[in-house]
Amino acid sequence: MDLAITTAVASSFLDKPVDTHTVLLGEVGLTGEVRAVSRTDIRVKEAAKLGFRRCILPRSNAERLTAIESIEMIGVQSVQGVLDVLFK
């Protein structure tokens, strides 16, 4: 949930919306690194069932997951990486 909250704050500050079909998973460290979370495979599959088309998650989690047909997975290492994907 940390990554989603951090992204919501950045979205508000930049006055740019996050795509409603994007889900964010991950914890954020004090230096801005995006840390792995548990049970990522279950979370991503459930997000796909709910209609999300893109999932931004920690790179370490993304590297261990097998592809899920209906959702694009983007692995990031830092909050800056998330902002680059979402707002550039």
Chain CA centroid to CA 78, Å: 11
| 43-87 pLDDT tens trace | 999 999 999 999 999 999 999 998 888 999 999 999 999 999 999
Half-sphere exposure of 62 (CA within 13 A, CB side): 18
Full-model pTM: 0.90
* Domain ranges (residues) in the chain: 2-81
Cβ-based neighbour number of residue 25 at 10 Å = 23
| 23-46 pLDDT tens trace | 999 999 999 999 999 999 999 999
Evaluate whether the domain defined by 2-81 bears CATH number 3.30.230.10: yes
Helix, strand, or coil (residue 2): helix
